[in-house]
Structure 1
Protein backbone atom coordinates (compact mmCIF):
# COMPACT_ATOMS: atom_id res chain seq x y z
CA UNK A 1 0.00 0.00 0.00
CA UNK A 2 1.03 3.58 -0.62
CA UNK A 3 2.66 5.65 2.14
CA UNK A 4 1.43 8.89 0.57
CA UNK A 5 -1.13 10.89 2.57
CA UNK A 6 -4.70 10.49 1.30
CA UNK A 7 -7.38 13.17 1.54
CA UNK A 8 -11.01 12.11 1.21
CA UNK A 9 -13.72 14.60 0.23
CA UNK A 10 -17.33 13.61 0.83
CA UNK A 11 -20.37 15.58 -0.29
CA UNK A 12 -23.44 14.89 1.81
CA UNK A 13 -27.06 16.03 1.75
CA UNK A 14 -28.58 16.84 5.14
CA UNK A 15 -32.25 16.92 6.13
CA UNK A 16 -32.94 20.65 6.71
CA UNK A 17 -35.22 19.85 9.66
CA UNK A 18 -32.33 18.16 11.48
CA UNK A 19 -29.47 20.64 11.12
CA UNK A 20 -28.56 20.70 14.84
CA UNK A 21 -28.48 16.91 14.95
CA UNK A 22 -26.39 16.77 11.76
CA UNK A 23 -23.91 19.29 13.18
CA UNK A 24 -23.39 17.15 16.29
CA UNK A 25 -23.17 14.04 14.10
CA UNK A 26 -20.44 15.55 11.91
CA UNK A 27 -18.38 16.56 14.95
CA UNK A 28 -18.80 13.10 16.46
CA UNK A 29 -17.33 11.55 13.30
CA UNK A 30 -14.32 13.84 13.50
CA UNK A 31 -13.85 13.05 17.19
CA UNK A 32 -13.94 9.30 16.50
CA UNK A 33 -11.42 9.53 13.64
CA UNK A 34 -8.90 11.47 15.75
CA UNK A 35 -8.20 8.34 17.79
CA UNK A 36 -6.99 6.34 14.79
CA UNK A 37 -3.27 6.09 13.98
CA UNK A 38 -2.33 8.11 10.93
CA UNK A 39 -5.18 10.61 11.27
CA UNK A 40 -3.91 13.99 10.01
CA UNK A 41 -7.02 16.13 10.37
CA UNK A 42 -10.49 16.85 9.09
CA UNK A 43 -13.20 19.45 8.82
CA UNK A 44 -16.54 20.22 7.26
CA UNK A 45 -18.38 23.15 5.73
CA UNK A 46 -21.87 23.84 4.52
CA UNK A 47 -22.26 25.08 0.94
CA UNK A 48 -24.28 28.04 2.28
CA UNK A 49 -26.44 29.15 5.17
CA UNK A 50 -29.61 27.61 3.68
CA UNK A 51 -27.90 24.79 1.80
CA UNK A 52 -28.53 21.13 2.53
CA UNK A 53 -25.21 20.24 0.86
CA UNK A 54 -22.33 19.75 3.27
CA UNK A 55 -18.72 18.91 2.46
CA UNK A 56 -16.48 16.90 4.77
CA UNK A 57 -12.72 16.37 4.37
CA UNK A 58 -10.46 14.05 6.28
CA UNK A 59 -6.87 13.02 5.78
CA UNK A 60 -4.80 10.01 6.81
CA UNK A 61 -1.06 9.41 6.54
CA UNK A 62 -1.42 6.49 4.13
CA UNK A 63 -3.84 4.02 2.55
CA UNK A 64 -3.44 1.46 5.37
CA UNK A 65 -4.36 4.00 8.06
CA UNK A 66 -7.34 5.19 5.99
CA UNK A 67 -8.51 1.62 5.45
CA UNK A 68 -8.31 0.91 9.18
CA UNK A 69 -10.59 3.92 9.87
CA UNK A 70 -12.97 3.13 7.02
CA UNK A 71 -13.39 -0.49 8.14
CA UNK A 72 -13.65 0.31 11.85
CA UNK A 73 -16.72 -0.56 13.92
CA UNK A 74 -16.76 3.03 15.23
CA UNK A 75 -17.11 4.46 11.73
CA UNK A 76 -19.81 1.91 10.83
CA UNK A 77 -21.76 2.84 13.96
CA UNK A 78 -21.30 6.54 13.22
CA UNK A 79 -22.49 6.25 9.60
CA UNK A 80 -25.50 4.18 10.69
CA UNK A 81 -26.40 6.72 13.38
CA UNK A 82 -26.68 9.46 10.73
CA UNK A 83 -28.49 7.42 8.08
CA UNK A 84 -31.87 8.94 8.97
CA UNK A 85 -30.87 12.52 8.17
CA UNK A 86 -27.66 12.42 6.09
CA UNK A 87 -27.03 10.81 2.70
CA UNK A 88 -23.70 10.57 0.90
CA UNK A 89 -23.72 11.96 -2.64
CA UNK A 90 -20.13 11.92 -3.87
CA UNK A 91 -16.71 10.84 -2.59
CA UNK A 92 -13.29 11.75 -3.97
CA UNK A 93 -9.85 10.58 -2.89
CA UNK A 94 -6.71 12.58 -3.61
CA UNK A 95 -3.10 11.55 -3.09
CA UNK A 96 0.40 12.71 -3.90
CA UNK A 97 0.83 15.61 -6.26
CA UNK A 98 -2.89 16.07 -6.76
CA UNK A 99 -3.58 15.94 -2.99
CA UNK A 100 -5.15 18.73 -1.03
CA UNK A 101 -3.32 20.40 1.84
CA UNK A 102 0.11 19.26 0.70
CA UNK A 103 3.02 20.99 2.40
CA UNK A 104 3.01 24.58 1.13
CA UNK A 105 6.18 26.04 -0.31
CA UNK A 106 5.75 28.97 2.08
CA UNK A 107 3.46 29.53 5.05
CA UNK A 108 0.90 32.29 4.59
CA UNK A 109 -1.45 33.89 7.12
CA UNK A 110 -4.24 36.31 6.28
CA UNK A 111 -4.60 39.48 8.34
CA UNK A 112 -7.40 41.91 7.48
CA UNK A 113 -7.56 40.83 3.84
CA UNK A 114 -3.82 41.10 3.17
CA UNK A 115 -1.64 38.02 2.85
CA UNK A 116 1.75 37.92 4.55
CA UNK A 117 4.24 35.42 5.94
CA UNK A 118 3.37 33.76 9.24
CA UNK A 119 4.89 35.55 12.24
CA UNK A 120 7.99 33.99 13.78
CA UNK A 121 7.34 31.60 16.65
CA UNK A 122 8.91 33.97 19.19
CA UNK A 123 6.39 36.66 18.23
CA UNK A 124 3.54 34.16 18.54
CA UNK A 125 4.83 33.06 21.97
CA UNK A 126 5.16 36.69 23.09
CA UNK A 127 1.60 37.42 21.97
CA UNK A 128 0.24 34.45 23.93
CA UNK A 129 2.24 35.46 27.02
CA UNK A 130 0.96 39.05 26.81
CA UNK A 131 -2.57 37.70 27.20
CA UNK A 132 -1.95 34.79 29.53
CA UNK A 133 0.22 36.47 32.18
CA UNK A 134 -2.19 39.28 33.14
CA UNK A 135 -5.21 36.97 32.87
CA UNK A 136 -3.58 34.36 35.11
CA UNK A 137 -2.46 37.03 37.58
CA UNK A 138 -5.95 38.55 37.88
CA UNK A 139 -7.58 35.11 38.12
CA UNK A 140 -5.15 33.96 40.83
CA UNK A 141 -5.66 37.16 42.83
CA UNK A 142 -9.47 37.01 42.57
CA UNK A 143 -9.79 33.31 43.35
CA UNK A 144 -7.42 33.59 46.32
CA UNK A 145 -9.45 36.52 47.62
CA UNK A 146 -12.95 35.12 46.87
CA UNK A 147 -12.56 31.38 47.52
CA UNK A 148 -11.71 30.46 51.13
CA UNK A 149 -9.21 27.62 51.30
CA UNK A 150 -7.99 28.04 47.72
CA UNK A 151 -4.35 28.06 48.90
CA UNK A 152 -4.93 24.84 50.87
CA UNK A 153 -6.17 23.03 47.75
CA UNK A 154 -3.65 20.61 46.22
CA UNK A 155 -1.74 21.88 43.19
CA UNK A 156 -3.33 19.47 40.68
CA UNK A 157 -6.96 20.59 41.26
CA UNK A 158 -5.88 24.25 41.38
CA UNK A 159 -4.09 24.00 38.03
CA UNK A 160 -6.96 21.98 36.55
CA UNK A 161 -9.57 24.54 37.61
CA UNK A 162 -7.37 27.44 36.51
CA UNK A 163 -6.73 26.03 33.03
CA UNK A 164 -10.37 24.99 32.58
CA UNK A 165 -11.46 28.55 33.34
CA UNK A 166 -8.72 30.45 31.51
CA UNK A 167 -8.31 28.45 28.28
CA UNK A 168 -11.71 29.44 26.83
CA UNK A 169 -11.19 33.07 27.84
CA UNK A 170 -7.78 33.08 26.12
CA UNK A 171 -9.01 31.24 23.03
CA UNK A 172 -12.24 33.11 22.34
CA UNK A 173 -11.63 36.58 23.75
CA UNK A 174 -8.12 37.63 24.75
CA UNK A 175 -5.97 36.03 22.06
CA UNK A 176 -8.09 37.27 19.13
CA UNK A 177 -8.12 40.79 20.63
CA UNK A 178 -4.37 40.81 21.27
CA UNK A 179 -3.65 39.41 17.80
CA UNK A 180 -5.76 42.17 16.24
CA UNK A 181 -4.01 44.83 18.33
CA UNK A 182 -0.54 43.50 17.42
CA UNK A 183 -1.21 42.57 13.78
CA UNK A 184 1.20 45.23 12.41
CA UNK A 185 3.97 43.91 14.67
CA UNK A 186 3.14 40.26 13.97
CA UNK A 187 3.03 40.73 10.19
CA UNK A 188 4.73 43.99 9.20
CA UNK A 189 4.15 45.23 5.66
CA UNK A 190 7.03 44.54 3.32
Structure 2
Protein backbone atom coordinates (compact mmCIF):
# COMPACT_ATOMS: atom_id res chain seq x y z
CA UNK A 1 0.00 0.00 0.00
CA UNK A 2 2.85 2.42 0.81
CA UNK A 3 4.48 1.77 -2.59
CA UNK A 4 1.14 2.42 -4.32
CA UNK A 5 0.71 5.70 -2.41
CA UNK A 6 4.24 6.78 -3.37
CA UNK A 7 3.58 5.92 -7.03
CA UNK A 8 0.36 7.95 -7.02
CA UNK A 9 2.19 10.87 -5.45
CA UNK A 10 5.04 10.80 -7.97
CA UNK A 11 2.84 9.85 -10.96
CA UNK A 12 -0.48 11.64 -10.33
CA UNK A 13 -3.49 11.99 -12.61
CA UNK A 14 -2.94 14.90 -14.95
CA UNK A 15 -4.80 17.11 -17.40
CA UNK A 16 -3.36 19.20 -20.20
CA UNK A 17 -5.31 22.32 -21.10
CA UNK A 18 -4.61 23.73 -24.53
CA UNK A 19 -5.87 26.83 -26.26
CA UNK A 20 -5.64 26.68 -30.06
CA UNK A 21 -6.79 29.11 -32.73
CA UNK A 22 -7.36 27.87 -36.30
CA UNK A 23 -5.52 29.73 -39.03
CA UNK A 24 -7.86 31.95 -41.11
CA UNK A 25 -9.55 29.84 -43.77
CA UNK A 26 -8.46 26.56 -42.10
CA UNK A 27 -11.41 26.17 -39.73
CA UNK A 28 -12.77 23.00 -41.41
CA UNK A 29 -9.31 21.41 -41.54
CA UNK A 30 -8.89 22.30 -37.88
CA UNK A 31 -12.16 20.51 -37.00
CA UNK A 32 -10.89 17.46 -38.89
CA UNK A 33 -7.64 17.67 -36.90
CA UNK A 34 -9.62 17.86 -33.61
CA UNK A 35 -11.64 14.76 -34.49
CA UNK A 36 -8.50 12.86 -35.48
CA UNK A 37 -6.38 13.74 -32.46
CA UNK A 38 -9.31 13.03 -30.13
CA UNK A 39 -9.73 9.53 -31.59
CA UNK A 40 -5.96 8.93 -31.43
CA UNK A 41 -5.74 10.07 -27.79
CA UNK A 42 -8.66 7.84 -26.79
CA UNK A 43 -6.66 4.78 -27.86
CA UNK A 44 -3.78 5.66 -25.51
CA UNK A 45 -3.19 3.80 -22.22
CA UNK A 46 -4.54 5.73 -19.26
CA UNK A 47 -6.58 8.17 -21.35
CA UNK A 48 -9.59 9.39 -19.36
CA UNK A 49 -11.27 11.72 -21.83
CA UNK A 50 -11.12 14.86 -23.93
CA UNK A 51 -13.26 17.96 -23.46
CA UNK A 52 -13.48 20.56 -26.21
CA UNK A 53 -14.96 24.01 -25.80
CA UNK A 54 -15.60 25.51 -29.23
CA UNK A 55 -15.55 29.27 -29.73
CA UNK A 56 -18.70 31.31 -29.63
CA UNK A 57 -19.39 34.83 -30.84
CA UNK A 58 -16.25 36.68 -31.90
CA UNK A 59 -14.00 34.27 -29.97
CA UNK A 60 -11.75 32.13 -32.20
CA UNK A 61 -9.93 30.06 -29.56
CA UNK A 62 -10.75 26.42 -28.97
CA UNK A 63 -10.06 25.08 -25.48
CA UNK A 64 -9.08 21.41 -25.33
CA UNK A 65 -8.60 19.39 -22.16
CA UNK A 66 -6.88 15.98 -22.35
CA UNK A 67 -7.09 13.88 -19.16
CA UNK A 68 -4.81 10.96 -18.25
CA UNK A 69 -4.78 8.69 -15.22
CA UNK A 70 -1.02 9.18 -14.71
CA UNK A 71 1.58 11.71 -15.78
CA UNK A 72 3.70 8.84 -17.19
CA UNK A 73 0.87 7.86 -19.58
CA UNK A 74 0.58 11.45 -20.78
CA UNK A 75 4.35 11.62 -21.29
CA UNK A 76 4.24 8.36 -23.27
CA UNK A 77 1.53 9.86 -25.52
CA UNK A 78 3.40 13.15 -25.86
CA UNK A 79 6.60 11.35 -26.99
CA UNK A 80 4.87 8.94 -29.38
CA UNK A 81 5.28 9.00 -33.17
CA UNK A 82 1.50 9.27 -33.55
CA UNK A 83 1.43 12.42 -31.39
CA UNK A 84 4.28 13.87 -33.47
CA UNK A 85 2.20 13.34 -36.65
CA UNK A 86 -0.77 15.14 -35.09
CA UNK A 87 1.51 17.95 -33.89
CA UNK A 88 2.72 18.37 -37.49
CA UNK A 89 -0.87 18.57 -38.78
CA UNK A 90 -1.75 21.09 -36.06
CA UNK A 91 1.05 23.41 -37.22
CA UNK A 92 -0.51 23.47 -40.69
CA UNK A 93 -4.03 24.38 -39.52
CA UNK A 94 -3.61 26.42 -36.31
CA UNK A 95 -1.48 28.91 -34.48
CA UNK A 96 0.93 27.79 -31.78
CA UNK A 97 -1.01 26.49 -28.76
CA UNK A 98 -0.95 27.76 -25.22
CA UNK A 99 -0.55 24.82 -22.83
CA UNK A 100 -0.99 24.37 -19.12
CA UNK A 101 -0.69 21.12 -17.13
CA UNK A 102 -2.88 20.68 -14.07
CA UNK A 103 -3.00 17.97 -11.44
CA UNK A 104 -5.35 17.36 -8.54
CA UNK A 105 -7.65 20.14 -7.41
CA UNK A 106 -6.29 22.64 -9.95
CA UNK A 107 -8.65 21.21 -12.57
CA UNK A 108 -11.63 22.46 -10.54
CA UNK A 109 -10.32 26.02 -10.73
CA UNK A 110 -10.21 26.56 -14.48
CA UNK A 111 -12.06 29.34 -16.27
CA UNK A 112 -12.79 28.11 -19.80
CA UNK A 113 -13.92 31.55 -20.97
CA UNK A 114 -10.59 33.12 -19.92
CA UNK A 115 -7.06 32.87 -21.23
CA UNK A 116 -5.17 30.11 -19.47
CA UNK A 117 -3.41 31.27 -16.35
CA UNK A 118 -1.49 29.64 -13.54
CA UNK A 119 -3.71 28.01 -10.92
CA UNK A 120 -4.61 30.01 -7.83
CA UNK A 121 -2.59 29.60 -4.62
CA UNK A 122 -3.24 26.33 -2.82
CA UNK A 123 -4.71 28.01 0.27
CA UNK A 124 -7.31 29.82 -1.88
CA UNK A 125 -8.26 26.54 -3.59
CA UNK A 126 -8.61 24.88 -0.17
CA UNK A 127 -10.81 27.70 1.19
CA UNK A 128 -13.10 27.65 -1.84
CA UNK A 129 -13.31 23.83 -1.85
CA UNK A 130 -14.17 23.91 1.87
CA UNK A 131 -16.90 26.52 1.22
CA UNK A 132 -18.33 24.44 -1.64
CA UNK A 133 -18.36 21.24 0.41
CA UNK A 134 -19.91 23.02 3.40
CA UNK A 135 -22.70 24.53 1.29
CA UNK A 136 -23.31 21.32 -0.62
CA UNK A 137 -23.39 18.95 2.37
CA UNK A 138 -25.54 21.37 4.41
CA UNK A 139 -28.01 21.70 1.54
CA UNK A 140 -28.15 17.98 0.85
CA UNK A 141 -28.60 17.11 4.53
CA UNK A 142 -31.43 19.64 4.76
CA UNK A 143 -33.10 18.34 1.58
CA UNK A 144 -32.63 14.57 1.77
CA UNK A 145 -31.23 13.95 5.26
CA UNK A 146 -34.59 12.94 6.72
CA UNK A 147 -35.17 10.52 3.83
CA UNK A 148 -31.77 8.89 4.39
CA UNK A 149 -32.03 8.65 8.19
CA UNK A 150 -33.62 5.18 8.36
CA UNK A 151 -30.86 3.68 6.21
CA UNK A 152 -27.48 2.32 7.43
CA UNK A 153 -24.61 4.82 7.67
CA UNK A 154 -22.65 3.32 4.76
CA UNK A 155 -25.67 3.52 2.43
CA UNK A 156 -26.43 7.11 3.52
CA UNK A 157 -22.81 8.06 2.87
CA UNK A 158 -22.82 6.29 -0.51
CA UNK A 159 -25.96 8.12 -1.63
CA UNK A 160 -24.83 11.48 -0.26
CA UNK A 161 -21.39 11.35 -1.90
CA UNK A 162 -22.90 9.95 -5.11
CA UNK A 163 -24.97 13.13 -5.36
CA UNK A 164 -22.37 15.52 -3.93
CA UNK A 165 -19.37 14.72 -6.14
CA UNK A 166 -21.07 15.33 -9.52
CA UNK A 167 -22.79 18.47 -8.19
CA UNK A 168 -19.47 19.71 -6.83
CA UNK A 169 -17.54 18.97 -10.02
CA UNK A 170 -20.00 20.08 -12.67
CA UNK A 171 -22.09 22.75 -10.95
CA UNK A 172 -20.82 24.21 -7.69
CA UNK A 173 -17.06 24.52 -8.32
CA UNK A 174 -17.44 26.10 -11.79
CA UNK A 175 -20.03 28.51 -10.33
CA UNK A 176 -17.92 29.44 -7.27
CA UNK A 177 -14.79 29.75 -9.43
CA UNK A 178 -16.58 32.31 -11.61
CA UNK A 179 -18.03 34.17 -8.61
CA UNK A 180 -14.68 34.33 -6.78
CA UNK A 181 -12.40 34.66 -9.83
CA UNK A 182 -11.15 38.13 -8.85
CA UNK A 183 -10.10 36.83 -5.42
CA UNK A 184 -8.72 33.52 -6.73
CA UNK A 185 -6.64 35.09 -9.49
CA UNK A 186 -5.69 38.40 -7.87
**TM value normalised by structure 2:** 0.52
Aligned-residue Cα RMSD (Å) equals: 2.6
Residue 45 of structure 1 pairs with residue 29 of structure 2: no
Tell me which stretches of 4 or more aligned residues in structure 1 moved more than 6 Å.
none
Asked which structure has the greater CA Rg, the reply is 1
Q: Which of 39, 48, 68 matches 1:31?
A: 39
Shift of 1:3: 3.1
SS of corresponding position for 1:31? helix
Q: Which of 166, 180, 183 matches 1:107?
A: 166
Q: Which consecutive residues of structure 2, in runs of 5 or more, have no partner in the other structure?
A: 1-6, 110-160, 172-186
> Is contact 1:47–1:54 with CA below 8 Å preserved after alignment?
yes
Distance in structure 2 (CA, Å) of the matches to 1:91 and 1:20? 22
Residues 59 and 76 from structure 1, CA distance in 2 versus in 1: closer, same or farther, beyond 3 angstroms? same
SS of corresponding position for 2:21? strand
Corresponding residue number in structure 2 for 1:181: none
Corresponding residue number in structure 1 for 2:23: 15
Q: Which has the higher strand share?
A: 1
Distance in structure 1 (CA, Å) of the matches to 2:101 and 2:47? 15
Q: Which has the higher helix share?
A: 2
SS of corresponding position for 1:24? helix
Shift of 1:12: 1.0
Distance in structure 2 (CA, Å) of the matches to 1:85 and 1:93? 23
Q: Which consecutive residues of structure 1, in runs of 5 or more, have no partner in the other structure?
A: 109-114, 116-190
Residue 3 of structure 1 pairs with residue 3 of structure 2: no
Q: Which of 70, 78, 100 matches 2:78?
A: 70
